[in-house]
Amino acid sequence: MSFRSVIAIAATGSLLLAACTGGGGASPATSPDPGSPEGGSGAKPDAPIDLTQLTREDLTSVLTPDSIPSIDDPKFVDPEEAEEWLSAQEPVAALEINGDARAYPFQIMTWHEIVNDVVGGTPVAVTYCPLCNSALAYPRRVGTRILEFGTSGSLYNSALVMYDRQTESLWLHFEGLAIEGPLEGTQLELIPVQTLSFEQFRQEHPGGRVLSQDTGFDRPYGQNPYDFYDTAERPFLFDGEVDPRLPAIARVVGVEIDEEAVAYPYDALSSEQGVSVVHDAVGGEDLVVFWRVGVRSALDDPEIELGRDVGTSGVFLPVARGRDLTFRVEAGQITDEQTGSVWSVGGRARSGSLEGEELTPLQHLDTFWFAWSSHKPDTRILGT
């Protein structure tokens, strides 16, 4: 066990953190073979059981509820204040509703996983699952209730399982689906969230606010309790079969539209120019995937600000002012062929005749391959 693991245990009392850390994220001996580290071969695993039929017995119990505490009274600061402790390339979950833009630094989310917030007048839960490297947001209003979510202490396919404190129903992180309790069968609508660097967030949202380190808890924010996890060969506490077409911990952009799922591997998106564009159609919907360097991994170096640059993605409808656009990379910039306007990875036109226009974001998920493929076993992979 590394020294940093001991710090993590002392800070949270969590055996989960102890097991996840220690120079490589070693997992139990019962973990499955993730397949060849080269990926790209082998058959898809069998489809998982119907998620609506899951029960508590199908989950992996690790901790007691709220052992990883949610943030229920979040405070926010201006970016100028946040830059005192948040470095330019550190990752944040960026969310905008009704013009209210907020950044949730992964250095905080890693230690809490859930923030119960109100953004643009909408009660939302903003979540981050370090074990599957995925940030998602959902509305908290269900019928006449406004729910408050906490960590259940259980996992499904190594992914966060939440519970709501009003009914104690259990909810899956990936789907926003209640699988047990009075709200069983309820599906929350996912709200698009994008992983950006702090610097990118400031450029995209000049008036945005940043989740404060003043959380009411004493945590070593900025330190990564899952050091080197995203270069491990095996996911922690994942007891399913890993789809061998890609390495288990490969980063992918997952998109699902009208029951068609597609994975866009970061390795396929990366380029020497540090930026790339992919046009595709999913579920009959034309879309465009942007990818750009400039975002550090939150699960690499013990100090998040020193993590390696893994880049980030955005997925959008390729339409502005009612006009279909075709994007390409030119001189290291994302441009549209129709007007020559330059676009950011956040889907905003920075210059040209479309300056100020914004593309409509589509729900997508930056996550690990094992997590995406275990939930979406019939997924297509870019280029296959």
pTM exceeds 0.85 for this model: yes
pLDDT of residue 233: 81
In a domain, 320, yes or no: yes
pLDDT of residue 152: 97
pLDDT of residue 362: 96
Residue with tokens 């989950």: 59
In a domain, 307, yes or no: yes
186-204, pLDDT tens digit by residue?
999 999 999 999 999 999 9
pLDDT of residue 53: 77
CA 82/CA 94 separation, integer angstroms = 15
pLDDT of residue 55: 76
**Residue 346 lies in domain:** 247-381
pLDDT of residue 223: 97
Domain count, the chain: 1
Residues of the chain with pLDDT under 70: 1-49
In a domain, 331, yes or no: yes
Of residues 150, 180, 168, the one with CA closest to residue 54: 180
pLDDT of residue 58: 82
In a domain, 344, yes or no: yes
In a domain, 304, yes or no: yes
In a domain, 129, yes or no: no
226-280, pLDDT tens digit by residue?
999 998 888 887 877 889 999 999 999 999 999 999 999 999 999 989 999 999 9
Q: 317 vs 25, 57, 266, 376, CA distance in Å?
A: 37, 40, 20, 22
